[in-house]
Structure 1
Amino acid sequence: MTAQFQCYIALRHTCRCCPQELRRRMTVVKYILVRLLFTIEYAAMGVSAVLTAVNSGTADNVTLSCKNVIEPDCSSTTWLYNTYRFTDTIELVTLGKIKDSHMNEKIRLGPDCSLHIHNVSTADTGSYTCRQFISGTQHEHDALVYLSILTVVPVTNLMPGSNMTLQCLLYTYHNPGQCNNHQSNSLTLRWVSDTDTDLQGDPRYQIHTSSCNSTLTTELQWTDNNRKWGCQLTDKGEVKVSQSYTITFPVKQPTTNVIAGIMSGVAVFAAVCVAVVVLVIVRRRTGNKNETNQDKAPDSVTYAVIIHPSSQQKEKQTPAIDSSTEYATIRTVN
């Protein structure tokens, strides 16, 4: 333990310039020290701890088994919770009674003293310890359950033609995306289509995976609307947990009829524009031709005879033409 505390003090002195990073590292170190202290204590007592790993997806319901029950009515059972996010251990259940905590509304104690967690989230990741007490003294070994949560990080404001990057993370009691301990060396992540086809070899997708963190990148198409991509957590090739994410575009793809109507309207508009241009050209040419013909063609003369009757002719009513006839010339222009 002395070497561990020396490491702790050295870490504190070397990270004075980065308080946020210091707090994060100190929390991780303290968590490791607590686990190490439990291990040494159990070894000194000749007691071993039972370790169980449980993997779940977000929004699922999980059950954490207690494998060291003494009293069937759970009056000796206490559940403790540790996570990298908190420095202190949180008591969830004390001697069979659920305590007031940030999780009291989503947990309950089963008839076999197991711990049921409803609608789990990444915030529930951590280690859960089932411990037995008789008359204030611990009995039996601890039953430790490591709960890891698989999730696909959601994305927004995606449209056809844009690049989409989905991230699949396994939140562990160490840190998000970290599966470096011996218990999770066999865990792998893989991306599948909505028909469970492995996308690793598909040239359309770029997939990058490290430990328990994997990203999928692709250029979206209209056909991807309402399409589902899945991320599977496998252990030695066996699927343990699966999470999926469905892409929905904020606008709908134009239908064939709409496109045809738009194209038809564009064609009609173009035809009207062409007709107007042709009509203007014809009128201009016709006007120029009329002006030319007017300059060259001789005047057209029309003669009209106007009879102005005399007073004698009015009396005789004789339709005869005499010398009083007048001529008028009317000129018409074509």
Structure 2
Amino acid sequence: MADKCHLCLLGLIFLSSLLTGLSGVDDVHVFISSGENVRLSCNNALHDCKSTAWIYNRFSHSETVELIAGGIKKTDTESYERLSLGSDCSLNIKNIIKEDYGSYTCRQYVNDQQQGTDARVYLHVLHVSSSSSSSSQTEISAGLSVTLFCQLYSSAGVSCDEWIRSKGIDLFWVNQAGVKLTRSDSRYQISAPDHCIITLNTTLLNEDLNREWRCEVTHRDQLKTSATYTDKRPARADSTTAETPVHSTNSTTTTPATSGSLFRMIVIIVEFAVFAAPTVIFLQIICDRRAENKEKL
């Protein structure tokens, strides 16, 4: 009887370990907000990254996308430009977008044979957006009703709503001072259609310019990530533009004669006299001789 109990106990231990392995107790969960950069660790890397492959699945049964093969980026993926492989075989993703959420698996191949077990990382992306009756951001003004949407994009083998409820994860809004906003605040209308999305509706005031509202994700009261919405209404330009008068002054400037110009004038007179005097004398001689000839006749 005792032997049977031991066998049953060993069977339960084996079954428990098997189920634990299937449930992914060693899987890593990373929370990040859109627009940031993230590093996903590869916990099964070998001595170099030539054997490393990174595989992506958005959902558990969705199409598998190979991002890295043999330590080299695949060029036929949408996120090619934003990916890089770290020296420790980690996967680096720049400028995270909400569509990046899902399962990332690091796998090792040697001679086309898989080595060891997979190292899986679940990436959860927090994204904040706004919606208003205005058609463009430049038209947002005081008195306008604005709704802010905060959503956690997540896929960990089950639906986001189910996973969040089972793991004790919370989404909520806080103001610029870090105070949690609640439904009891008359200025805000907060609603949560499910556990993965929470909305905040408010009417903008003049003093809200550059004010921040932040959405936070916590796991058992520990902050995991946050995303911020800032009221960035453009400042109104002054309708009147001051004109600087331009004054045009017409003036006549008199330049006094200098000693140099006076000297030049004297030189000109002297030169004229030098050339004119012989001519006058010569003409005078001719006239005198003509007069003498007339008297002789």
Residue 240 of structure 1 aligns with which residue? 224
State the Cα deviation string for residues 180-230 of structure 1 (Å, max 9, x = none).
126863111111111112111422111112301000011211111221111
State the Cα deviation string for residues 235-258 of structure 1 (Å, max 9, x = none).
11111111111113345499xxx9
Q: 1:185 aligns with which of 142, 159, 167?
A: 167
Counterpart of 1:165, as a letter, is T
1:134–1:143 distance in 2 versus 1, CA, 3 Å: same
Q: Indicate yes or no: 2:60 matched with 1:75.
A: no
Residue 125 of structure 1 aligns with which residue? 101
Q: Indicate yes or no: 2:118 matched with 1:134.
A: no
State the Cα deviation string for residues 62-119 of structure 1 (Å, max 9, x = none).
11111111x2211211100111499421111112111112122111111111111111
CA distance in 2, matches of 1:164, 1:99: 42
1:82–1:143 distance in 2 versus 1, CA, 3 Å: same
Counterpart of 2:53, as a letter, is T
CA distance in 1, matches of 2:202, 2:237: 19
Q: Indicate yes or no: 2:180 matched with 1:198.
A: yes
1:106–1:86 distance in 2 versus 1, CA, 3 Å: farther
C-alpha RMSD of the superposition: 2.9
Q: How does 1:1-334 map to 2 (within 5 A)?
A: 50-69=26-45, 71-84=46-59, 87-100=62-75, 101-155=77-131, 156=137, 157-173=139-155, 178-181=160-163, 185-200=167-182, 201-209=184-192, 210-250=194-234, 252=236
**Number of residue pairs aligned between Structure 1 and Structure 2:** 211
Residue 309 of structure 1 aligns with which residue? none
CA distance in 2, matches of 1:62, 1:126: 13
Q: Percent identity?
A: 37
Residue 47 of structure 1 deviates from its aligned partner by 8.7
CA distance in 1, matches of 2:160, 2:22: 29
CA distance in 1, matches of 2:112, 2:231: 54
State the Cα deviation string for residues 127-179 of structure 1 (Å, max 9, x = none).
1011111211112111111101101113444322221110100111269x933
CA distance in 2, matches of 1:149, 1:244: 13
> Higher relative CO (CA 8 A, sep ≥ 6), structure 1 or 2?
2
CA distance in 2, matches of 1:184, 1:229: 27
Which residues of structure 2 form unaligned runs of 5+?
A: 1-17, 132-136, 241-297
